[in-house]
Amino acid sequence: MNVSPVFGSLLLAALFAACQSSNQTKDDLIHLITLDPGHFHAALVQKNTLEGVDSTVHVYAPEGTDVQLHLDRIKGYNARPEEPTHWHEDVYLGVDFFNKMLTDRAETKASNVVVMAGNNRLKTDYIQKTVAAGFNVLADKPMAISASDFEQLKEAFSTAAKNKVLLYDIMTERYEITTMLQRAFSQQPEVFGTLEKGTPDNPAVTKESVHHFYKNVSGSILTRPAWFMDVAQQGEGIVDVTTHLVDLVQWECFPEQTLDYKNDIKLTSARRWTTDMTLSQFTAITKQATFPDYLKKDVVKDTVLKVYSNGEINYQLKGVHAKVSVIWAYKAPEGTGDTHYSIMRGTKANLIIRQGAEQQYKPTLYIEAVDKKTDLDAAIKTVLPAIQKDYPGVEVKKIAKGWEVVIPEKYKEGHEAHFGRVAQKYLEYLKVGALPAWEVPNMLAKYYTTTQALELAKRTGGL
């Protein structure tokens, strides 16, 4: 085909302009880096396309099963028939993966977000060194699993502030609709009254979470790394899943208020206990025929692994008595799954989330008057428009014990979808260049509570 010189010049100019535009757009994108993805939460951050994020994700990890399982999950998201993603994983494997990440990405560190979701033994150290190098960090919980980790985490937040990068943890439970509505109704004094102070025996707030080692994720049975059962690498239950529960106590009871861990938190008691797992059960979820050497310290009679995955914390937050507990069973009964129970006690009504057989194992929020003779009908009708303004379609229905909050299906996202919600919120913070003023102090308060509770449980022999 013959092309006139004029037309050819115009075509080249157009292509050059298009390339410039494309490069400019790419330069404006956030670039994800996945560091040693040993937990399936790392993949869930990418379960959906993220607006403003480059489709090429750089992965740095040691060779092994953990990273391969991660890459397989990403491939599954790309290949699914409905709303497939289009991630391209640029992978570096080697024992020097951490230093390689720092040097490779040094030129674009300001627009990089390092996602950390894996083995927690070195996570706090990785966090500190990564923010010190000028990278943003989005970390799965827990960011600290010991009192010494907490001290290093404090330094990491100070370093992040100096380097003007954002360090944030993935608090998915803030996006669970019954929890969001429990918080919303607690802000309606006509119905809830004010939050009780409670006592150690009858806390104002109680949250209990039940989890299972054997579980289905993204349509298949989850293969867990063997180290997940090693509390030296994963962390004990009292510093792991309780992170979510402590976060929710803070987030619901004192919304957007800055907490001071030195003055606002008083631990009352803490205890920890084990979940026992047979070798055959261990093999079913890890695909490993024997217990690795690092687990031998927790194995009884060569056949039963005892994992300190359960914990309970009783404490006061700004004078309000709270109790959080996490329980791990091996496998949920057929037709059930992980469950959550939560109660906030007000002077007029209690707000209770139940997720048992009666609720078909789906979280359901109830409003129950403290005084059974009190009729809250008029008060609920008064506050409902304020609730519906933020959550259109939410209703309530009268039942024998009080009222059930009726939630439209559109709000009932699964746990996996919440990772995308957290990621998008974090991206919004990156755009403005700052977290809300209360977030960092409250993250410190949260990890102080969990790590000091572990110290207390060990010191007092709370079993």
Q: In this structure, are residues 447 and 171 in contact, taking their beta carbons and an 8 Å threshold?
A: no
Mean pLDDT in residue range 262-275: 97
* pLDDT value of position 462: 56
| pLDDT over 90 at 12, yes or no | no
* pLDDT value of position 5: 38
**Which residues does 63 contact at the CB level (< 8 Å), separation at least 6?**
93, 94
Residue 134's CB is within 10 A of a number of other CB atoms, namely: 17
Same domain, 208 and 162: no
| pLDDT over 80 at 24, yes or no | no
Question: What percent of the chain has a predicted confidence (pLDDT) above 70?
Answer: 93
* CA 352 – CA 35 distance, rounded (Å): 38
Same domain, 144 and 241: no
* CA 40 – CA 416 distance, rounded (Å): 10
Q: How many domains does the chain contain in total?
A: 2
3-state secondary structure of 310: strand
Lookup result for tokens 């974090």: 426
pLDDT band, very low/low/confident/very high, at 110 (cuts 50, 70, 90): confident
Same domain, 102 and 228: no
Q: In this structure, are residues 164 and 143 in contact, taking their beta carbons and an 8 Å threshold?
A: no
| pLDDT over 80 at 36, yes or no | yes
Domain C-terminal end among 155, 170, 185:
170
DSSP assigned state of 30: B
* pLDDT value of position 221: 80
pLDDT band, very low/low/confident/very high, at 332 (cuts 50, 70, 90): confident
Same domain, 41 and 190: no
Pairing mode, if any, of strands 402-406 and 364-369? antiparallel
CA distances from 386 to 252, 392, 410, 418, 431 (A): 17, 10, 19, 24, 30
Domain C-terminal end among 139, 170, 201:
170
* pLDDT value of position 8: 41
Model pTM? 0.91
Mean pLDDT in residue range 117-142: 97
Lookup result for tokens 């009726």: 406
| Cis bond before residue 142 (omega within 30° of 0) | yes
* CA 33 – CA 121 distance, rounded (Å): 20
Same domain, 241 and 373: yes
| pLDDT over 60 at 413, yes or no | yes
Same domain, 16 and 145: yes
DSSP 184-247: HHHT-HHHH-SB--B-SSSBSEEEEEEEEEE-EETTEEPPPPGGGG-TTTT--GGGTTHHHHHH
Domain C-terminal end among 109, 135, 170:
170
DSSP 142-194: PS-SSHHHHHHHHHHHHHHHHHT--EEE--GGGG-HHHHHHHHHHT-HHHH-S
In total, the chain counts a number of residues equal to: 463
User: Domain of 332?
Assistant: 173-460
* pLDDT value of position 461: 78
* pLDDT value of position 25: 55
Residues 50-69 pLDDT 10s: 999 999 999 999 999 999 99
3-state secondary structure of 306: strand
DSSP assigned state of 262: H
Mean pLDDT in residue range 366-376: 91
Same domain, 231 and 340: yes
Q: Could you give the angle at the alpha carbon of 180 between the alpha carbons of 174 and 185, nearest 5°?
A: 145
* CA 172 – CA 179 distance, rounded (Å): 11
Residue 78's CB is within 10 A of a number of other CB atoms, namely: 15
pLDDT band, very low/low/confident/very high, at 27 (cuts 50, 70, 90): low
* 247-69-307-140 Cα dihedral, nearest 10 degrees: -20
**H or E element in which residue 78 lies:** helix 65-79
Mean pLDDT in residue range 80-96: 97
Question: What percent of the chain has a predicted confidence (pLDDT) above 90?
Answer: 84
Residue 51's CB is within 10 A of a number of other CB atoms, namely: 10
* CA 224 – CA 213 distance, rounded (Å): 8
Pairing mode, if any, of strands 339-345 and 349-354? antiparallel
| pLDDT over 50 at 47, yes or no | yes
322: domain CATH number?
3.30.360.10
Same domain, 164 and 217: no
* 254-258-260-265 Cα dihedral, nearest 10 degrees: 10
Mean pLDDT in residue range 28-46: 94
pLDDT band, very low/low/confident/very high, at 18 (cuts 50, 70, 90): very low
Max avg pLDDT among 3-12, 107-116, 251-260: 251-260
* pLDDT value of position 21: 36
70: domain CATH number?
3.40.50.720
* Helix, strand, coil share (%) of the chain residues, nearest 5: 45, 25, 30
Same domain, 79 and 163: yes
Residue 334's CB is within 10 A of a number of other CB atoms, namely: 5
**Which residues does 210 contact at the CB level (< 8 Å), separation at least 6?**
326, 327, 328, 329, 338, 339, 340
Residue 26 amino acid letter:
K
Same domain, 388 and 252: yes
Same domain, 313 and 407: yes
**Which residues does 95 contact at the CB level (< 8 Å), separation at least 6?**
62
Residues 155-207 pLDDT 10s: 999 999 999 999 999 999 999 999 999 999 999 999 999 999 999 999 999 99
Same domain, 129 and 185: no
